[in-house]
Structure 1
Amino acid sequence: MKRLEHAVESIILASRWLLVVFYLGLAVALGIYALSFAKKLYEFVAKVMILDDTDTILKILGLIDAALVASLVVMVIISGYENFVSRFDNHDGEVHWLGTIDVGSLKIKVASTIVAISSIHLLQVFLNHQQYSSSQLMWLTLIHLTFVLSALLLAYIDRLTGLSKNAKKTAGEVEGPSL
């Protein structure tokens, strides 16, 4: 029976390598998104002399939005691989933060990035408010506020979890090991 248990555990542990397919797929998607970014940048550069201030700001916000999305994808790929598949070998300080983003921190960073992306989108909408009805503006604002509230709740829960872990750690140090 112990042999069967060990075999099942080995299969379950080996299954984490299936995640590599997802991370490689995200890397390919990131490459495709980089082409989309290059197209947006080219169109912006080609029209920069005929754009008014508002349109220039909207184009720049679109580029910032794309950079945030790309950063989010990289963060998910690297920290996901590092947390769930395997540790990266030493890469001579290329990415000094590897291994410092745990799952809880990743959730907070993802939520914060989504709020930033939503904020940029909402700013773009408000700069073009004449193209939207009052109802659309209200719903977009409510959706954004939902993202903000969700990020705040995630951060609060993460903080409570951290405080709980620290309290248990401190209690264990004060009481000593239990028998």
Structure 2
Amino acid sequence: MTIAYLPRLNWSLLRAGVPLIWRLAVENCGEAAVAGCALRIELPGFLDSGAIALRELAPGETLELDAARLPWVRRDFARAAQLTRDEETSLHLTLRASDGPLVGSALRAGLCPLTLLPPDEWVPGLRYDDERAAFALDPRLDLAQATIDFPGGGTAQHARREATWQGQLPLPAAVAALLCAEHPQVELIKDEAMEALAKLPLRS
């Protein structure tokens, strides 16, 4: 299993629809077809995807899941709103076989480190432009990546990369400008943020 996700989760962005997980893929590395497996992703006490049924995978086949549209059955925004400081935790990834039991060493097989941020804490999408001597929208996001080999396990490695969401590079900061309009850092980039939002295509 391969996952790429935001290692610093701001709940305001999650509420606005910016995805936590940016890539999610499952590969059958065995020599026989595998059917009837279910994946579950949990952030204990806050998020739960429930069981996500996976279609049959042929040997060597990779299934890319639509990470931006994961069916979260639980998103506890009320509890998240009570956060007053950063909290270190992990995403828990589990895989169940068709007959029900967990594959491998259960939760220990898929722990992805993550920092929960208070709802009003600033988010990725802001940088200081030395040439302009001013804050500006930043298209680069910190994504953590992990490859997990069930039942063996795996580790998450952090990487700095440019990522897009619906084709809009600075969207996280622009959304934050709407959600945290009175934030001091928002005041410094308000014009740019509103310009970025104005360029978003209208959807019915």
Which is higher, the Rg of structure 1 or of structure 2? 1
Bucket of the pairwise TM-score, normalised by the shorter protein: under 0.3
Larger strand proportion of the pair: 2
Taking structure 2 as the reference length, the TM-score comes to 0.21
